[in-house]
């Protein structure tokens, strides 16, 4: 390997990339457990497909747009790395192979759109969702990653290199970005049938807890791995990640106990995720004691913010706005207060004598990413809605989206299960299964509409 290479750092970043990859299935379970049983698979599929689509686009042009040398005022990379074609196996980015760096960054690009899906649970056409992902990562995530993550001695992304906004692992680029896009889509698609009326209990809280456990685990790769080296900075990021998450879990639980009278497990899982989101931008800049504070703030604030959807009347089904937009923004802004100057940046926050300077920069980052994300997501969503249609029919929604969109049932626990279905065929049917529910009964041709 060329000089400057570090085996320890490479090991760390490669394993971190694997950890971040696992977060997308983790998210699938976190979300999938929270929906009703009739749309569990759709929820899982919306996350998994992000692994498929974004990875391919990343190779084709995503990496180049996000991390190619800046081509226009810190807004976008150039096209020198299309297809990852001219990258040598041993070419370095810092102390690690470019391929390792590229894979680590890819995993961020994968999970970001997957996060959005929680806002439109139970009601989005799967093909429309796939199209949305492809467009959204291309025109939103890849450029925004360039703004926020691509440093090049002052000539990199405009937020990080021109403005000086700090975002260590993606509070703005990932979480705020996804959260706001979720808000836009929730508005474009409208509310679920029965919103605020029908109870919509999570169908499997153990699945939610599994998801939160895997997210927490993978998040060490996300945050500590963002040091891109196995060093003291990674150690600090790791520590703050753990501490803020724990403290946000405690914060959320206390809020819930006071407001609703019970410590719920969903609250524990949600609080942990709120903490993970909040510490993401800040983990390299603040102290462990600062992380306890940040965690408490995020836990309580997000626990409160998720009730906004009922008050304001938008159906952000799984609280992507309340957790990711709010948590990401709060975490990014708190850097402006809590940055010690002794971590990954010399900038000091208000509480450490740095004045309002950093806070202002942070606000610019939050504002810019939020606004851009909202507008673009709204446009893409609306165009899809108007052209191919984004939302399934009411019948499909009531019967369950899994049946119509995926021709599957999530579970069959019945000892009697096999007995409950009949005909078996291995050849293509004349009508596609997705429309089978619409076939009318042979002996009642007049009755052409079949309800769920």
Partner 1 sequence: MPEMKIITAVIKPHRLDDVKEALQSFGVHGLTVTEASGYGRQRGHTEVYRGAEYTVDLVPKVRIEVLAEDDDADSVIEVIVKSARTGKIGDGKVWSVPVETAVRVRTGERGPDAL
Residues of this chain, 380-409, that bind partner 1 according to CB under 8 A: 398-399, 403-404, 407-409
DSSP state of 96: E
Pair 151, 157: CB distance under 8 Å: yes
Query: Considering only residues 28, 40, 303, 333, which one is a binding residue for partner 1 as defined by CB under 8 A?
Result: 303
Regarding 420 and contact with partner 1 (CB under 8 A), the answer is: yes
Residue 449, contacted partner among a copy of itself, partner 1, none, CB below 5-8 A by kind:
partner 1
- Cα angle 42, 47, 48 (rounded to 5 degrees) comes to 95
Q: For residue 90, count CB atoms less than 10 angstroms from its CB and return exposed for 0-12, middle for 13-18, buried for 19 or more.
A: exposed
Cα–Cα distance between 406 and 384 in angstroms, integer? 20
Shortest reach from residue 73's CB to a copy of itself, in Å:
29
Q: Could you give the count of Cα atoms lying within 13 Å of 275 in the half-sphere of its Cβ?
A: 33
Rg (CA), the chain: 23
User: Could you tell me which of 207, 177, 253 has the C-alpha nearest to residue 31?
Assistant: 207
Query: Considering only residues 11, 56, 289, 436, which one is a binding residue for partner 1 as defined by CB under 8 A?
Result: 436
Cα–Cα distance between 117 and 185 in angstroms, integer? 9
Nearest residue (CB) to a copy of itself, 208 versus 329: 208
Residue 173, contacted partner among a copy of itself, partner 1, none, CB below 5-8 A by kind:
none
Residue 312, contacted partner among partner 1, a copy of itself, none, CB below 5-8 A by kind:
none
Shortest reach from residue 415's CB to a copy of itself, in Å:
7
DSSP secondary structure, 241-307, as one string: HHHHHHHHHHHHHHHHHHHHSS--HHHHHHHHHHHHHHHHHHTTTS-HHHHHHHHHHHHHHHHHHTT
Binding mask 97-136 for partner 1 (x = CB under 8 A): ----------------------------------------
- Which residues lie below 8 Å from residue 5, measured CB to CB, with a gap of 6+? 90, 92, 95, 96, 97
Residue 371, contacted partner among a copy of itself, partner 1, none, CB below 5-8 A by kind:
none
Regarding 440 and contact with partner 1 (CB under 8 A), the answer is: yes
Shortest reach from residue 271's CB to a copy of itself, in Å:
8
Nearest residue (CB) to a copy of itself, 202 versus 365: 202
Shortest reach from residue 322's CB to partner 1, in Å:
8
Regarding 422 and contact with partner 1 (CB under 8 A), the answer is: yes
Nearest residue (CB) to partner 1, 97 versus 182: 182
Segment 229 to 258, residues that bind partner 1, using CB under 8 A: 256
Nearest residue (CB) to partner 1, 4 versus 432: 432
Residue the block writes with tokens 């993550």:
149
Cα–Cα distance between 340 and 347 in angstroms, integer? 7
- Cα angle 23, 27, 28 (rounded to 5 degrees) comes to 120
Residue 270, contacted partner among a copy of itself, partner 1, none, CB below 5-8 A by kind:
partner 1
- Please provide residue 340's backbone torsions phi and psi, each rounded to the nearest 5 degrees: -90, -20
Q: Which range touches partner 1 (CB under 8 A), out of 92-100, 110-118, 215-223, 299-307?
A: 299-307
Shortest reach from residue 242's CB to a copy of itself, in Å:
6
Spell 178-208 as b/e; 16+ CB within 10 A means b.
bbbbbbbbbbbbebbeebeeeebebbbeebb
DSSP secondary structure, 380-402, as one string: HHHHHHHHT-SB--HHHHHH-HI
Please give the structure tokens belonging to residue 434: 């997705």
Q: What is the distance between the terminal CA atoms of the chain, rounded to a whole angstrom?
A: 63
Nearest residue (CB) to partner 1, 3 versus 421: 421
Segment 253 to 292, residues that bind partner 1, using CB under 8 A: 256, 259-262, 264, 266-267, 270
Query: Considering only residues 86, 89, 353, 441, which one is a binding residue for partner 1 as defined by CB under 8 A?
Result: 441
Shortest reach from residue 315's CB to partner 1, in Å:
12
Query: Considering only residues 3, 85, 86, 425, which one is a binding residue for partner 1 as defined by CB under 8 A?
Result: 425
Residues that bind partner 1 (CB under 8 A): 199-202, 256, 259-262, 264, 266-267, 270, 303, 306-307, 310, 319, 398-399, 403-404, 407-409, 414-416, 418-426, 429, 433, 436-437, 439-441, 443-444, 447, 449-452
């Amino acid at each position: 390997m060329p000089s400057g290479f570090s085996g320890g750092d490479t090991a760390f970043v490669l394993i971190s990339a694997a950890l971040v990859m696992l977060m997308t299935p983790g998210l699938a379970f976190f979300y999938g457990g929270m929906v009703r049983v009739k749309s569990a698979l759709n929820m899982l599929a919306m996350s998994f497909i992000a692994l498929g689509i974004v990875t391919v686009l990343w190779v084709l042009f995503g990496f180049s747009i996000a991390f190619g040398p800046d081509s226009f005022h810190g807004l976008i990379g150039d096209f020198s790395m299309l297809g990852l074609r001219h990258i040598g196996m041993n070419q370095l980015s810092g102390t690690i192979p470019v391929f390792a760096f590229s894979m680590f960054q890819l995993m961020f690009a994968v999970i970001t759109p997957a996060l959005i899906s929680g806002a439109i649970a139970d009601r989005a056409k799967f093909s429309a969702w796939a199209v949305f992902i492809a467009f959204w990562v291309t025109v939103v995530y890849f450029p925004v990653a360039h703004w926020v993550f691509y440093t090049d001695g002052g000539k990199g992304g405009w937020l990080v290199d021109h403005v000086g906004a700090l975002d260590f692992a993606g509070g703005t680029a990932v979480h705020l970005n996804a959260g706001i896009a979720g808000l836009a889509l929730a508005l474009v698609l409208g509310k679920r049938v029965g919103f605020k009326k029908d109870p919509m209990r999570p169908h499997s809280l153990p699945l939610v807890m599994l998801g939160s456990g895997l997210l927490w685990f993978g998040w060490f790769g996300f945050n500590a791995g963002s040091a891109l080296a196995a060093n003291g900075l990674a150690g600090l990021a790791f520590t703050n990640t753990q501490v803020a998450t724990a403290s946000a879990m405690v914060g959320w639980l206390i809020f819930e106990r006071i407001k609703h009278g019970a410590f719920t497990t969903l609250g524990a899982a949600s609080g942990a995720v709120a903490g993970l989101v909040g510490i993401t931008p800040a983990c390299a800049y603040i102290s462990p004691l600062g992380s306890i504070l940040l965690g408490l703030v995020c836990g309580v604030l997000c626990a409160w913010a998720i009730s906004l959807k009922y008050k304001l009347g938008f159906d952000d089904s799984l609280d992507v706005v309340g957790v990711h937009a709010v948590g990401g923004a709060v975490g990014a802004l708190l850097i402006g207060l809590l940055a010690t100057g002794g971590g990954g940046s010399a900038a000091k926050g208000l509480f450490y004598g740095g004045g309002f300077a950093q806070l202002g920069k942070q606000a610019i980052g939050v504002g810019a990413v939020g606004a851009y994300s909202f507008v673009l997501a709204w446009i893409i969503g609306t165009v899809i809605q108007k052209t191919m249609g984004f939302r399934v029919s009411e019948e499909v929604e009531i019967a369950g989206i899994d049946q119509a969109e995926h021709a599957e049932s999530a579970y069959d626990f019945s000892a009697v299960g096999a007995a409950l279905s009949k005909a078996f065929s291995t050849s293509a049917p004349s009508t596609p299964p997705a429309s089978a529910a619409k076939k009318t009964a042979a002996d009642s041709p007049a009755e052409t509409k079949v309800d769920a």
